[in-house]
């Protein structure tokens, strides 16, 4: 069983959830410290480093998916993740801890946000509903 924090189109009810759905064992709400940005059809997450000044004030809400190994591979394909530091990666996959619980797992993060608009609510679903 593998934990993955999702915050955008992989959320339950969103456009790409069907990619993960066959492999999902459980879903729990969660939140991580960081900022969410609007890339157009999907969001991008930038995590805060521990001790960063504004880390307490900014968080991203999402869900923890418990998935099988096949589920992680399917999400890697969707997110154009080919391995640590691969030049063709659209996202990087890194280890993260939930800000309210001891849950830890993988998350897909964005490296470059210049020119992107921040989603101030920290919620993709709330942003899309507006």
Give the residue carrying structure tokens 């805060």: 48
Q: Across the strands, what pairs with 27?
A: 65
Instruction: Quickly count: other Cβ atoms within 10 Å of residue 120's Cβ.
Output: 11
Question: Strands, DSSP E only, in 39-86?
Answer: 43-47, 59-67
Q: Give the active site residue among 70, 79, 118, 120.
A: 79
- The Cα–Cα gap between 55 and 109 comes to 16
Rounded CA gap, 14 and 31, in Å?
17
Start-to-end Cα distance in the chain: 35
Establish whether 49 is a catalytic residue. Answer: no
* Residue numbers annotated as active site: 79
């Amino acid at each position: 069983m593998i934990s993955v924090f999702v915050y955008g189109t992989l959320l339950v009810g969103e456009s790409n959830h069907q990619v993960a759905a066959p492999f999902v064992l459980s879903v729990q709400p969660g939140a991580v410290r960081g900022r969410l940005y609007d890339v157009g059809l999907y969001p991008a997450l930038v995590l805060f480093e521990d001790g960063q000044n504004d880390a307490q004030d900014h968080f991203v809400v999402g869900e923890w998916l418990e998935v099988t190994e096949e589920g992680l591979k399917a999400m890697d394909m969707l997110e154009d993740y080919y391995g640590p530091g691969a030049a063709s990666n659209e996202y990087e996959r890194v280890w993260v801890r939930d800000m309210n619980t001891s849950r830890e797992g993988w998350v897909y993060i964005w490296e470059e946000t210049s020119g992107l608009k921040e989603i101030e609510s920290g919620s993709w679903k709330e942003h899309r509903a507006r």
